[in-house]
Amino acid sequence: RGDMNFKFGKATPKLRAKRKLAALAQLDYESAAGINSDINYKAMMYYKIGIVHRDLLGDMAQADQYMQKAISTAPDSEAARMAGNR
């Protein structure tokens, strides 16, 4: 559901709806990271939360924190490579 909420958030021009969808997407990604023990999967969820902060909320500081968390969680993962190339 996180990807769906993110996608709808990108599509809506309404700021209030964008914020609500961003919060829902982040909650979904955090839940997914919390129930999965695979560090590569966790890193991808942290990367996606960073993208939510960057693209939906315009919060670059929070985005950077989650990108760094993705990198530190699984340094050799696809998420870490994408976070490093942002």
From first to last of its 86 residues, the chain has per-residue pLDDT tens of 899 999 999 999 999 999 999 999 999 999 999 999 999 999 999 999 999 999 999 999 999 999 999 999 999 999 999 998 86
Helices 60-73 and 39-51 sit at what angle, rounded to 10 degrees?
A: 170
Q: What is the DSSP code (8-state) at residue 53?
A: I
Cβ neighbors of 78 (< 8 A, separation 6 or more) are 40, 44
pLDDT in tens, 14-24: 999 999 999 99
76 three-class SS: coil
